[in-house]
Amino acid sequence: MKQKAKAFAEKAHEGQTRKSSNEPYITHPIRVAKRLETSGFSDELVCAGYLHDVVEDTSYEIEDIKEVFGIQVARLVFAHTEDKSKSWRERKQHAIDTVKYAPKGEKYLIVADKLDNLLSMEKEYELQGDLLWDNFNAGYDLQKWYNESIAENMYTGLAADEVPSYFWEFEEAVARVFGRRSF
């Protein structure tokens, strides 16, 4: 099922590139899925890692995901899909609320995605400097607010043994990119 999800995502994102670089877009969902798999999560969650941006950024719809991968994968993808009719701030507040109150699987997917995005931003910042922020719908201050809010809320409802190591990696990346802060 994981190989099928990877192939589906490769086809769906064909020709797309990352927002702040010329890197093929598919590298992002592959890294997200790999992080989830390395953390020992279910095949369904790993598949959602491959597919998490398909509905949001391609012509495929959630019904396509449900038909091919089942209801559980579709629910994870749907929970992660932004409503592009809303403002940037509304979409990001929804993600913050979701990461705070959602079931574990949804939290794990969101933070894996946000970590990969932040690590890419950090890498591109080294090359582009402050010009990087011009590539996004929101500049430095709003990106800082968003990422710090994810870090502040991602542990809610999780026992210590339910926190994957990449949550700490995200927290450390937020501190590196946006300045030191204790969450």
- DSSP for 31-57 reads HHHHHHHHTT--HHHHHHHHHTTHHHH
Position 61 in a domain: yes
Q: What is the pLDDT of residues 6-40, one digit of tens each?
A: 999 999 999 998 876 788 999 999 999 999 999 99
Q: Structure tokens of 72?
A: 């559980």
Position 45 in a domain: yes
Position 111 in a domain: yes
Is pLDDT of 181 > 70? no
Average pLDDT value over all residues in the chain: 92
Is pLDDT of 180 > 60? no
Position 183 in a domain: no
Q: Is the pTM above the cut of 0.85? A: yes
What's the pLDDT score for residue 18?
Answer: 85
- Structural domain total, the chain: 1
Q: How confident is the model at residue 4 (pLDDT cuts 50, 70, 90)?
A: very high
Is pLDDT of 135 > 50? yes
Domain of 76: which CATH number? 1.10.3210.10
Q: What is the pLDDT of residues 69-95, one digit of tens each?
A: 999 999 999 998 988 899 999 999 999
Position 146 in a domain: yes
Identify the domain containing residue 108 by its residue range: 2-178
Query: Which residues are CB-contacts of 169 (< 8 A; sequence separation ≥ 6)?
Result: 115
- Do residues 28 and 116 lie in contact, with contact meaning Cβ atoms separated by under 8 Å? yes
